[in-house]
Amino acid sequence: MTRYLALLPEAALAVTALLVFGALMTRRDRTGRARRAAYAGGTLVLLASLLTFGRNAEFFWSAYRVDAFSQLVKAAVAAGFLMAAFIAREARGQREDVRGEVFFFLLASATGLMVLASAVELVALYLAMEIASFSLFVLVPMCDRCERGREAALKFIVLGLAASAVTLFGLSLIVGFTGTTRLDQIALQLPGL
């Protein structure tokens, strides 16, 4: 049971995402409620990352490893999320009715980055990168008043999808050459290639 305490930052992030999502379902002051839930949850995730620092555990058939380095990265991601959420509270050029969704998509991106910190398998690594980037694909075009922002959003999406395709192709080549998706086994086989 104590090994599951290593997943406390991820659990706190899931609870935060549910709180922000619930705040977005309300009619009154949805942006303010989402912002307050994001601040409280981000602080909770940061504290959970620091409290579980030094715990080691492996999950999902050793595809997800929690260690001191991953917990340190998760604390940095939580701090970065809090800074981004603080900056996003005064976002200009956004419609008032979608301003609260910014916090939810920032949370989704932070989720991908936290999973990326603990992924030790190529499939988990790729999925974490996609989770982190797809939420930003939705977040970028939310600017309503600037025409150049829409053009930048379209370019960002096209380049992101192209980069995702090239990454997937490269990962398939690595798996084809090494016969495994585990990063430690790939590292052992790379000098012989």
DSSP 8-class letter at 180: -
Q: Please name the helix (run of DSSP H) or strand (run of DSSP E) that holds residue 134, with its range, or none.
A: helix 122-139
Print the domain residue range for 95.
Answer: 2-192
Q: How large is the average pLDDT for residues 168-191?
A: 88
What does pTM read for this prediction? 0.84
The pairs formed by 72-76 with CB atoms below 8 angstroms and a separation of 24 or more are: 73/113, 73/114, 73/117, 74/9, 74/45, 74/49, 74/114, 74/117, 74/118, 75/9, 75/46, 75/49, 75/50
At residue 167 the predicted structure's pLDDT band, cuts being 50, 70 and 90, is: very high
Which residues lie closer than 8 Å to 50 by C-beta, 6 or more apart? 71, 75
Amino acid at 154: L
What's the mean per-residue pLDDT of the chain?
A: 84
pLDDT at 162 over 90: yes
58-110 confidence digits (pLDDT tens): 888 888 888 888 899 999 999 999 998 888 777 666 666 677 788 888 898 99
Report residue 142 as tokens.
């939310």
132-148 confidence digits (pLDDT tens): 988 888 877 776 666 67
Q: How large is the average pLDDT for residues 36-43?
A: 87
The number of CA neighbours under 13 Å toward the Cβ of 135 is 18
Neighbours of 1 (CB within 10 A): 4
With a pLDDT cut of 90, the percent of the chain lying above it is 17
Overall domain count for the chain = 1
Q: Rounded CA gap, 190 and 193, in Å?
A: 5
